[in-house]
């Protein structure tokens, strides 16, 4: 389907200039009279209470970190406390008008934002709703300690509940929002619209657009706020997130009824510092973060700078920006000016700024200023404000004490396995929403569906391979599994580079363009961090996403999003959240050093990911089906060498109907008794060739075990095979050093030590860059290497003349040379 936007040379070469409009800086000018008309006394006092509560919450943390005690209560807090004392007004202003449908994502310095958002949300809930939440949230674990002996209002109880949950989370107590699995830098509480806060600076930048995408695709109310610091705007993934959020297609190509541009505010909590580096005047050149908007789109992201040392200009900005988002004109960029009076952390000696500077900001302190303002406006007397402050301060202090009490607020017991138990959610999720999935045409009319119907679902017929054009292949298997889930789960989306029109980087998606509306299948910018980050945000919000990385070599570009984001939020939620995301990663060949690497070992090493590598059409379909019915993040490796291979192992071929292959089970591809060859990835096909030679030349029968899955991995069938044969070679196309097979070999050595006739031998690619296509046979393990390695290191093959050097001496030499 050709694109609807046509590019003509006359237009591209026409003379002109690019226009920018002025970006407002501190434009808020409302008078006291206007403010009095806009806010009720109750509103003003609510803001006051929230400012004070946050200041007290963090003052206590600061004191216990620095002095080990607060007002006689001693406590040793081992973990971090990145405080935002001074920044309260920016947080309260941001949160004031937001509802629980508005979701905030944030950073390491987010206690204030979390508290502000929680306080604001609970004011908008009825007492019944709050009671219901407190009773049901983690079966009342947070409610029980705070309701003991409490006789006040439900709102008062909710305040205790929320402050207590936050402290408990920071102190790693079972009674924390997420059983202490998140802690200070990663705390969150989704019922009030508080989504993950990220210890990776700028980490929320690429995730939040995925959350906003979820709202658009699934027509959900509310907006997303991505709160990140000024220095975070130096992070590449933040730029990728902004690029992803500002794609033209939302407004130009997507169905108008979806609502247009993504409903997201990138809100810079601009405190003028990173840790010690200064974006203004030192580490960046932009001067005003708001200026960045001008480079993003013609709307300049509706960027402006606001005074975040006063909550009212921030509330005003958020109210105005909400309208823009509701009109489908997002994204928005806000540059909210504030100041961190506290150090970066309590151990910070503030060597990077002058005492005078801190004193000036202290003199202008937002809490003092707001106190004066309320008094001057006649909203409340000094006495009333002080009494309100004392009251909330004492509640916060009481909750602090309760959270430090080990009896009321226990940690996980010694030796607990809970951290492991919540690594995966292991749920079955047939669909993430009940509405009817959207399609552009009847499935049975789709040309690809019709074409696949005419294919032969076995790879061999009458002893001969089925011609490539006719054979049902790995691409077809993945397509069928995805189609199945697309037809059940209305939230399911797929995106990545060249996903639409092109048909996915390697034609797996051909046919989907005609079948799926834009919002279910779309091209992303070339932003690997943006792609994976968006899939994480989409998953966190409760949707199902399939993201694609064209080459495994590009995982580096999405390193943080794969290793720290996709992998970790389920566990940091203590198993409360799902992460229904499949990340398809294609492993290349023939394209040299930067497009032909199998990097499966990188994700094997990272806790929290399910990792599979199917290499037959039968396995690809069954495992994609299982991945798309689960609730955990799955890294789904595919090999470009074999996309069009037919099914050579399953005798009945690839079933028409639905079936699943569990994501933990290796598969015996050929039975044998003399030797076990375990393979990962397309190395299976070289192992088949080697096994044929072993049989032909030496009368040996090799059992072929295709690992298929990297994590989790059931060793039982592998152990059974090795026990039977006593000999094992492990084969992979990844470079040998540090590859997945080294871990499998080491575990097998321990599990089968008494049954082994020789140590397990791992054979991988050379520890080199991948050379050019013409030289690949020097690099990837060839069938002849397998025979040579068996001969040198497992059992002598009678009369065999090795063609390569697979001796132990050579192994040691390569290691010494680092190659």
Ligand X SMILES: Cc1ncc(C[n+]2csc(CCOP(=O)(O)OP(=O)(O)O)c2C)c(N)n1
Q: Note the residues at the interface with Mg ion (CB under 5 A).
A: 229-231, 271, 273
Our CB check for Mg ion shows the closer of 70 and 273 to be 273
Stretch in the footprint of ligand X (CB under 6 A) among 23-31, 55-63, 268-276, 635-643: 268-276
> Which of 93, 118, 229, 261 is the binder for ligand X (CB under 6 A)?
229
| Number of residues binding to ligand X, judged by CB under 6 A | 15
> Which of 120, 184, 232, 338 is the binder for ligand X (CB under 6 A)?
232
Our CB check for ligand X shows the closer of 65 and 484 to be 65
**Could you say which of ligand X, Mg ion, none residue 745 binds, taking C-beta under 5 to 8 angstroms by partner kind?**
none
Distances (CA, A) of 509 to 476, 480, 516, 547: 9, 10, 11, 12
Q: Taking the complex as a whole, how short is the minimal distance between the CB of residue 768 and Mg ion, in angstroms?
A: 43
Contacts with ligand X, 81-120, as mask; x by CB under 6 A? ---------------------------xx-----------
Distances (CA, A) of 46 to 50, 52, 128, 210, 311: 6, 10, 20, 32, 12
Of 186, 595, 791, 800, which residue is the catalytic one?
595
**Could you say which of Mg ion, ligand X, none residue 201 binds, taking C-beta under 5 to 8 angstroms by partner kind?**
ligand X
Task: Specify burial of residue 233 (Cβ count, 10 A radius: 0-12, 13-18, 19+).
Answer: buried
In whole angstroms, what is the distance from residue 43 CA to residue 36 CA?
Answer: 10
User: Phi-psi category of 179—alpha, beta or left, where left has phi over 0 and alpha has psi -120 to 50?
Assistant: left
**Could you say which of Mg ion, ligand X, none residue 366 binds, taking C-beta under 5 to 8 angstroms by partner kind?**
none
Our CB check for Mg ion shows the closer of 180 and 229 to be 229
| CB-CB contact of 476 with 511 (8 Å) | no
Which residues within the stretch 162-221 sit at the binding site for ligand X (CB under 6 A)? 199-201
> Which of 159, 231, 333, 341 is the binder for ligand X (CB under 6 A)?
231
Stretch in the footprint of ligand X (CB under 6 A) among 250-258, 273-281, 404-412, 449-457: 273-281
In whole angstroms, what is the distance from residue 171 CA to residue 185 CA?
Answer: 11
DSSP-assigned letters across all residues of 109-148: S-HHHHHHHHHHHHHHS-HHHHHHHHHHGGGGTTHHHHHT
Our CB check for ligand X shows the closer of 281 and 463 to be 281
Q: Taking the complex as a whole, how short is the minimal distance between the CB of residue 626 and Mg ion, in angstroms?
A: 44
Distances (CA, A) of 206 to 210, 238, 254, 576, 693: 7, 6, 21, 22, 50
DSSP-assigned letters across all residues of 288-331: SGGGGGGGT-TTGGG-EEEETTSHHHHHHHHHHHHHHHHTT---
**Cross-strand pairs, 667:** 706
Residue whose C-alpha is closest to residue 325's, from 370, 259, 247, 383: 259
3-state secondary structure of 777: helix
Distances (CA, A) of 103 to 112, 162, 194, 430, 669: 15, 17, 6, 25, 48
Q: Taking the complex as a whole, how short is the minimal distance between the CB of residue 314 and ligand X, in angstroms?
A: 16
Decide: is 336 part of the binding site for ligand X (CB under 6 A): no
| CB-CB contact of 680 with 599 (8 Å) | no
Q: Taking the complex as a whole, how short is the minimal distance between the CB of residue 303 and ligand X, in angstroms?
A: 17
Our CB check for ligand X shows the closer of 231 and 713 to be 231
Our CB check for ligand X shows the closer of 235 and 474 to be 235
Judge whether 595 counts as a catalytic residue.
yes
Our CB check for ligand X shows the closer of 203 and 260 to be 203
**Could you say which of Mg ion, ligand X, none residue 578 binds, taking C-beta under 5 to 8 angstroms by partner kind?**
none
Decide: is 273 part of the binding site for ligand X (CB under 6 A): yes
Residue whose C-alpha is closest to residue 262's, from 225, 298, 234: 225
**Could you say which of Mg ion, ligand X, none residue 199 binds, taking C-beta under 5 to 8 angstroms by partner kind?**
ligand X
| CB-CB contact of 45 with 379 (8 Å) | yes
Q: Taking the complex as a whole, how short is the minimal distance between the CB of residue 560 and ligand X, in angstroms?
A: 7
**Which residue of this chain has its Cβ atom nearest to Mg ion in the complex?**
229
Q: Cite the active site residues.
A: 595
Residues that bind ligand X (CB under 6 A): 108-109, 199-201, 228-232, 269, 271, 273-275
């Amino acid at each position: 389907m050709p694109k609807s936007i046509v590019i003509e040379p006359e237009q591209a070469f026409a003379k002109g200039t690019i226009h920018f409009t002025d970006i407002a800086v501190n434009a808020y000018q409302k008078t006291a009279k206007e403010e009095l008309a806009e806010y009720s006394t109750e509103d003003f006092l609510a803001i006051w209470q929230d400012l004070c509560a946050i200041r007290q919450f963090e003052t206590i943390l600061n004191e216990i970190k620095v002095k080990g005690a607060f007002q006689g209560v001693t406590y040793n807090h081992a973990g971090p406390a990145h405080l935002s004392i001074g920044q309260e007004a920016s947080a309260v202003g941001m949160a004031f008008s937001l509802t629980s449908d508005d979701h905030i994502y944030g950073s390491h310095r987010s206690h204030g934002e979390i508290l502000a958002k929680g306080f604001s949300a609970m004011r908008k809930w009825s007492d019944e709703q709050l009671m219901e939440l407190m009773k049901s949230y983690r079966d009342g674990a947070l409610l029980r300690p705070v309701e003991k002996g409490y006789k006040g209002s439900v709102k008062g109880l909710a305040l205790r509940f929320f402050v207590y949950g936050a402290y408990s989370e920071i102190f790693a107590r079972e009674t924390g929002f997420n059983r202490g699995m998140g802690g200070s830098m990663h705390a969150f509480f989704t019922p009030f619209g508080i989504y993950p806060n990220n210890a990776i600076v700028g980490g929320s930048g690429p995730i939040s657009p995925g959350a906003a995408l979820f709202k658009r695709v699934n027509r959900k109310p509310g907006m997303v706020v991505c709160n990140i610091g000024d220095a975070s705007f130096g992070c590449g993934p933040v730029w990728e997130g902004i690029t992803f959020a500002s794609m033209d297609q939302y407004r130009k190509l997507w169905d108008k009824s979806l609502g247009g541009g993504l409903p997201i505010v990138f809100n810079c909590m601009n405190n003028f510092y990173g840790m010690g580096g200064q974006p203004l005047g030192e580490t960046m050149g932009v001067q005003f973060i708001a200026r960045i908007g001008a480079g993003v789109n013609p709307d300049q992201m509706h960027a402006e700078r606001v005074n975040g040392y006063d909550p009212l200009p921030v509330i005003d900005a958020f109210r105005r920006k909400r309208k823009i988002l509701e009109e489908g004109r997002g994204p928005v960029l806000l540059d909210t000016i504030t100041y961190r009076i506290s150090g970066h952390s309590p151990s910070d000696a503030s060597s990077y700024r002058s005492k005078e500077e801190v004193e000036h900001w202290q003199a202008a302190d937002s809490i003092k200023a707001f106190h004066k303002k309320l008094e001057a406006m006649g909203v409340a007397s000094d006495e009333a404000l002080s009494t309100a402050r004392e009251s909330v301060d004492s509640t916060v202090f009481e909750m602090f004490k309760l959270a430090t009490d080990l009896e009321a607020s226990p940690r996980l017991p010694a030796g607990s396995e809970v951290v492991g138990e919540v690594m995966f959610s292991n749920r079955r999720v047939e669909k993430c929403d009940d509405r009817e999935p959207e399609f552009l045409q009847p499935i049975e009319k789709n040309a690809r569906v019709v074409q696949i119907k005419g294919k032969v679902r076995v790879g061999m017929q009458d002893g001969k391979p089925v011609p490539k054009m006719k054979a049902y292949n790995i691409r077809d298997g993945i397509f069928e599994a995805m189609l199945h889930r697309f037809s059940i789960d209305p939230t399911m989306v797929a995106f990545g580079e060249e996903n639409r029109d092109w048909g996915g980087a390697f034609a797996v998606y051909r046919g989907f363009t005609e079948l799926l509306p834009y919002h279910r299948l779309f091209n992303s910018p070339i932003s690997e961090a943006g792609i994976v980050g968006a899939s994480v945000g989409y998953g966190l919000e409760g949707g199902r996403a399939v993201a694609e990385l064209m080459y495994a070599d590009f995982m580096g570009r999405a390193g943080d999003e794969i290793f720290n984001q996709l992998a970790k939020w389920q566990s940091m939620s203590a198993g409360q959240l799902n992460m229904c995301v499949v990340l398809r990663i294609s492993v290349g060949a023939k394209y040299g050093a930067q497009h032909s690497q199998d990097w499966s070992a990188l994700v094997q090493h990272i806790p929290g990911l399910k990792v599979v590598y199917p290499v037959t059409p039968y396995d690809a379909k069954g495992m994609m089906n299982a991945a798309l019915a689960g609730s955990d993040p799955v890294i789904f490796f595919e090999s470009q060498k074999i996309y069009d291979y037919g099914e050579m192992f399953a005798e009945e071929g690839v079933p028409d109907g639905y079936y699943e292959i569990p994501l933990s089970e290796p598969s015996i591809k050929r039975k044998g008794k003399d030797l076990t060859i375990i393979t990962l990835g397309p190395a299976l096909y070289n192992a088949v060739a080697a096994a044929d030679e072993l049989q032909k030349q030496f009368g040996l029968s090799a059992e072929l075990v295709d690992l298929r899955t990297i994590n989790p991995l059931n060793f039982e069938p592998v152990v059974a095979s090795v026990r039977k044969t006593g000999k094992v070679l492990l084969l992979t196309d990844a470079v040998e050093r540090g590859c997945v097979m080294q871990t499998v070999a080491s575990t097998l050595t321990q599990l089968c030590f008494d049954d082994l006739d020789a140590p397990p031998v791992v054979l991988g690619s050379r520890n080199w860059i991948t050379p050019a296509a013409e030289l690949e046979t020097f690099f990837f393990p060839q069938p002849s290497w397998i025979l040579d390695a068996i001969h040198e290191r497992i059992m002598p093959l009678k009369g065999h003349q090795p063609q390569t050097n697979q001796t132990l001496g050579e192994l040691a030499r390569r290691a010494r040379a680092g190659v």
